[in-house]
Structure 1
Amino acid sequence: MTQNDQTPGPKKRKKKKAPHIAADLSDPKGRERAERELVLGDHGFLRESFQNLHQISPEMWRANQPNPRQVREHARLRGIRTIINLRGESTKGYYLLEKEACEAEGVTLVDFQVFSRDTPKVETINAARELFDTIDYPALMHCKSGADRAGLMSALYMIFRQGMPVAKAMQQLSGRYLHVKSGKTGMLDAFFDAYLTDTKDTPKPFLDWVNEDYDPAEVKAAFLKTFGNRFQLDRLLRRE
């Protein structure tokens, strides 16, 4: 029997990962574990001296994931009253320590999860508008690197809160903030580009286009069709 004639054996099932159990910050060992998850597991050591921090208006800042010391600095030096966490709630140390620091400084922590490698959902865009109308300012929003999700939300903030044209607002997605357009994160650019293309000859307010014409699946499919071999870049960057 040749190798090609051999029938494949049963496929091995991947073991499901056990759910991550949150560290107990009231216990010294638990706190040590949470800090290790922040510094090593979440690459917090890279953000110790580089926060990718930018002020995009008198009332709004953008940054990467802050550690507790940086949360205190945002509250005491910049008067930040609200921090918008674009990564979503988590049991990992980076989130637990941020939440604790916000509580200690009287800062409201808002968990508003968005994604960097997909076209934004219609309901997410509408929720972002409501968010910007209801939070206490000054505010700061962050994802992990401060590049892609923070860029998307910064652009939406400038459109909804500042009344800025889409073409100008989408400059928040640029290399200046470490955003990479040539990877899957380019779907965020494709979303805004779709609006500009669709309304080039027949102008239409951005939110009306989102609610009446925008098809996330269609924009995503068109982007992936021209994506080519650039998936390798995403694997190299290991973005969330």
Structure 2
Amino acid sequence: MPLDLTSPAGRRAATLNSLFVDHAILRTGWRNWGAIVPGRLYRSNHPQPWQLAQVARRHGLRTVINLRGHRAECGSDALSREEAGRLGLTHIDAPLESRGAPHRDRLLRLADLYAGMAEPALIHCKSGADRTGLAAGVFLLLNGGTSQQALDQLHWRFGHVSASRTGILDAFFRLYAREAEGRTPFLDWVRDAYDEAALRASFKSRGWADRLVDGVLRRE
């Protein structure tokens, strides 16, 4: 059931859920922070309220994009959503997938959000490694960047493991590079030529990497 932040008991429950069920305790000292385009777009793992307030002050944030989507029973979601409202930030849910071929409709919606959002903005998922890297790369390609710059946002330094099932996100950018970069604008390619099913069928992960990401790191 949805978490209730209006009572002390409800707030305690949300905080404990965030720290120990959603693993926010591991994100207290590890922010997985990055400036994608300074002054315009930043990235991180799911921020705790005090972390969001700190970043908002330091960088003048105006928008937060939550790539996990709305999770009514997640303490991290409830607390950061409330804090965004307290800070006067626009909070947008734009769920993406980390282990499947990116869905065309979600990519097109993200492009629309980027075009209309108030900047600077922060994008985050849970760990800030996979979905955040995809969304960061999409932003760069929409703003004159290259597929290699997009791929750099899916890097081991952010905790991304390209040999695992999350490597299909790397394959997505490589597919654009191979099929259309330099000839067709990225958004046009996504809209008119990108084949989700073909990408899904062609990608193969490695067992050891899947065990690491899914079993040890327990990523979403």
1:156 is matched with 138
Gaps of 5+ in 2: none
- State the Cα distance separating 1:232 from its structure 2 match: 2.5
1:191 matched to 2:172? The reply is: yes
- State the Cα distance separating 1:178 from its structure 2 match: 1.2
Q: Could you list the per-position Cα deviations for residues 79-126 of structure 1 after superposition, in whole angstroms to 9, with x for gaps in the alignment?
A: 111111100001111111111111111111111100111111111121
Number of aligned residue pairs: give it.
Answer: 216
Secondary structure in 1 aligned to 2:194? Answer: coil
In structure 1, distance between residues paired with 2:30 and 2:186: 34
The correspondence of residues 83-232 of structure 1 with structure 2, limited to 5 A, is 83-91=64-72, 92-160=74-142, 162-199=143-180, 203-224=183-204, 227-230=205-208, 231-232=210-211
1:30 matched to 2:14? The reply is: no
User: Which of these residues, 36, 46, 51, is aligned with residue 31 of structure 2?
Assistant: 51
- Compare 64-73 and 74-83 and name the one that shifted more: 74-83
1:9 is matched with none
In structure 1, distance between residues paired with 2:150 and 2:41: 14
Q: Which runs of 4+ in 1 moved over 6 A?
A: none
In structure 2, distance between residues paired with 1:60 and 1:45: 25
1:82 matched to 2:63? The reply is: yes
In structure 1, distance between residues paired with 2:219 and 2:162: 13
Q: Is the 8 A contact 1:87 1:111 kept in 2?
A: yes
Q: Structure 2 vs 1, CA of residues 135 and 199 (structure 1 numbering), >3 Å: closer, same or farther?
A: closer
Identity %: 38
In structure 2, distance between residues paired with 1:171 and 1:228: 21
- State the Cα distance separating 1:228 from its structure 2 match: 4.6
Q: Is the 8 A contact 2:62 2:90 kept in 1?
A: yes
- State the Cα distance separating 1:239 from its structure 2 match: 1.3
In structure 2, distance between residues paired with 1:235 and 1:65: 18
Q: Could you list the per-position Cα deviations for residues 43-89 of structure 1 after superposition, in whole angstroms to 9, with x for gaps in the alignment?
A: 11111111111111121100000011011112222211111110000
One-letter amino acid of the counterpart of residue 190, structure 2? V
The correspondence of residues 64-83 of structure 1 with structure 2, limited to 5 A, is 64-83=45-64
In structure 2, distance between residues paired with 1:143 and 1:235: 16
- State the Cα distance separating 1:23 from its structure 2 match: 2.1
Normalised by the size of structure 2, how large is the TM-score?
A: 0.93
One-letter amino acid of the counterpart of residue 212, structure 2? L
Q: Is the 8 A contact 2:32 2:44 kept in 1?
A: yes
In structure 2, distance between residues paired with 1:180 and 1:197: 22
Secondary structure in 2 aligned to 1:83? Answer: strand
In structure 2, distance between residues paired with 1:204 and 1:105: 40
Secondary structure in 2 aligned to 1:185? Answer: helix
In structure 2, distance between residues paired with 1:119 and 1:45: 30
In structure 2, distance between residues paired with 1:171 and 1:121: 21
Normalised by the size of structure 1, how large is the TM-score?
A: 0.85
Structural RMSD (CA):
1.5
Gaps of 5+ in 1: 1-20
